[in-house]
């Protein structure tokens, strides 16, 4: 059979398919000095990109947030891992919860978590985020952020140092790689070298390696209060702050607080170690009178609840509300007084006379249950609107449940 020249040199069809295809540019790039070529799968490339660019949304609510900030500073420098902090959940894939999560904060954390795109992960940093720690049984604290969002890595400590957070991020990278490979990550067991790296610089109380002299120094420091500011002619005018029942500056032509209480408001007993008790119906007049004397700053409004007692020391339920005003400028003075309220009694509001009275009175209503007559917007300030009861009352159980968060 005659065979023409063009078909004589052609390989069989099945052998042509066995030949690998090479793009013309591949050879040129391969032979270019200083360039190299690597081949991999798309999944490995995506895994490398995910683990090398963990963008963090910071959920720092308390003291662990300070260690979190230090991890992003120059000494630890999370940026060298490709880990940067973002201020919006829509551009992050890792939420680091550093600190206590309260019942009021829990739905906000959940909402921010839901705004983060998939895939995403979460790290619980510190004992409070992990379990609630000291505040676990407190009415307002969620006993573990894993009740709110799913947690991938736990970084223990109170607080953990920046190196511990760095190690937690390395464990998260390992977890991401294994899960993308279809494997189940095994629980991480810290090696002695890792424990040395993440151990706090000063051992905590109870640690066998802690120097006993540190305990003694802390105990001595706790037993000696800070020296009070100087008072009298030798003290600078800005530091001359007398006791809570002190007198306004005589150079301003103002009468002493005690004289005002005795002569204008009929107060006969002025204790030396506490603020005097003023009648409820005289409370507003006293505050306005002190304002005319220069006491323009409302320092605090603090309420205390005393439950009903029976037996030998029986007494009805009552409340005590303490007030303090301060004069502004050099030679500042403080004036304080108390109100004793029976159950159901309401003191008049100071919202029309002093800035800050609005939210301070709302706080005492929210936490203790004292109602202030005439307040323009008396509603909860710190607790959710749906909260039942007032948590700083003495008859309120500190471990009260609040589904679904605790």
Tens of pLDDT along 215-245? 888 888 777 655 544 444 444 444 443 433 4
In angstroms, the CA 350 to CA 356 distance is 9
In angstroms, the CA 141 to CA 124 distance is 15
Phi (first) and psi of residue 197, to 5 degrees:
-70, -35
In angstroms, the CA 267 to CA 283 distance is 12
Q: What's residue 7's pLDDT?
A: 53
Q: Please, which residues have CB within 8 angstroms of residue 203's CB and are 6 or more apart in sequence?
A: 209, 210, 211, 214
Q: Are 403 and 384 in contact (CB under 8 A)?
A: no
User: What is the mean predicted confidence (pLDDT) over 303-326?
Assistant: 88
Q: Are 82 and 169 in contact (CB under 8 A)?
A: no
Q: What's residue 133's pLDDT?
A: 85
> Three-state DSSP class for 189?
coil
Among 16-30, 94-108, 350-364, name the one with the lowest average pLDDT: 16-30
User: What is the mean predicted confidence (pLDDT) over 305-332?
Assistant: 86
Q: What is the DSSP letter of 309?
A: B
What is the distance, to the nearest Å, from the Cα of residue 40 to the centroid of all Cα atoms in its chain? 44
In angstroms, the CA 65 to CA 85 distance is 13
Model pTM score: 0.63
User: What is the mean predicted confidence (pLDDT) over 18-43?
Assistant: 67
In angstroms, the CA 235 to CA 102 distance is 44
Q: Are 34 and 126 in contact (CB under 8 A)?
A: no
Most confident of 44-48, 203-207, 375-379, 380-384: 375-379
Domains of the chain: 47-184+192-198 (3.40.50.12280), 238-367 (3.30.460.80)
Could you give the percent of the chain with pLDDT greater than 90? 19
In angstroms, the CA 44 to CA 57 distance is 25
Residue bearing tokens 């306004």: 248
User: What is the mean predicted confidence (pLDDT) over 80-84?
Assistant: 81
Categorize the per-residue pLDDT at 253 as very low, low, confident or very high, splitting at 50, 70 and 90: very low
Categorize the per-residue pLDDT at 23 as very low, low, confident or very high, splitting at 50, 70 and 90: low
Categorize the per-residue pLDDT at 328 as very low, low, confident or very high, splitting at 50, 70 and 90: confident
Q: What's residue 321's pLDDT?
A: 94
Q: Are 93 and 54 in contact (CB under 8 A)?
A: yes
Over the chain, what is the mean pLDDT? 79
Could you give the percent of the chain with pLDDT greater than 70? 79
Q: Please, which residues have CB within 8 angstroms of residue 127's CB and are 6 or more apart in sequence?
A: 133, 134, 156, 157, 158
Residue bearing tokens 């917007």: 377
Q: What's residue 404's pLDDT?
A: 86
Crossing angle of helices 162-180/42-51, nearest 10°? 160
């Amino acid at each position: 059979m005659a065979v023409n020249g063009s078909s004589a040199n052609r390989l069989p069809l099945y052998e042509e398919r066995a030949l690998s295809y090479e793009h013309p540019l591949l050879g040129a790039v391969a032979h270019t000095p200083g360039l190299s070529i690597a081949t991999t799968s798309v999944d490995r490339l995506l895994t490398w990109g995910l683990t090398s660019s963990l963008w963090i949304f910071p959920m720092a609510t308390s003291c662990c947030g300070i260690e979190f900030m230090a991890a992003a500073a120059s000494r630890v420098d999370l940026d060298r891992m490709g880990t940067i902090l973002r201020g919006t959940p829509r551009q992050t894939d890792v939420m680091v919860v550093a600190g206590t999560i309260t019942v009021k904060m829990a739905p906000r954390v959940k909402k921010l978590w839901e705004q983060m795109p998939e895939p995403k992960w979460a790290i619980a940093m510190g004992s409070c985020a992990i379990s609630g720690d000291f505040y676990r049984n407190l009415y307002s604290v969620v006993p573990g952020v894993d009740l709110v969002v799913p947690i991938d890595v736990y970084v223990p400590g109170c607080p953990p140092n920046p190196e511990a957070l760095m190690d937690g991020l390395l464990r998260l990278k390992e977890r991401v790689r294994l899960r993308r490979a279809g494997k189940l990550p095994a629980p991480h067991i810290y090696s002695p070298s890792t424990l040395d790296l993440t151990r706090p610089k000063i051992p905590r109380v109870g640690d066998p390696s802690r120097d006993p002299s540190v305990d003694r120094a802390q105990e001595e420091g706790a037993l000696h209060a800070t020296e009070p500011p100087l008072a009298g002619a030798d003290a600078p005018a800005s530091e001359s702050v007398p006791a809570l029942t002190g007198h306004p500056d005589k150079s301003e032509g103002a009468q002493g607080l005690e004289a005002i209480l005795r002569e204008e408001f009929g107060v006969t007993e002025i204790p030396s170690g506490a603020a005097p008790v003023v009648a409820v119906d005289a409370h507003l007049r006293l505050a306005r009178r002190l304002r005319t004397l220069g006491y323009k700053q409302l320092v605090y409004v603090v309420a205390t609840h005393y439950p009903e007692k029976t037996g030998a020391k029986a007494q009805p339920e009552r409340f005590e509300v303490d007030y303090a005003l301060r004069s502004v400028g050099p030679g500042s003075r403080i004036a304080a007084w108390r109100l004793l309220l029976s159950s159901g009694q309401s003191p008049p509001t100071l919202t029309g006379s002093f800035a800050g009275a609005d939210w301070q009175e709302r706080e005492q209503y929210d936490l203790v249950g004292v109602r202030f007559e005439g307040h323009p917007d008396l509603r909860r300030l710190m607790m959710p609107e749906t909260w039942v009861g007032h948590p700083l009352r003495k008859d309120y159980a500190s471990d009260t449940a609040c589904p679904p968060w605790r």
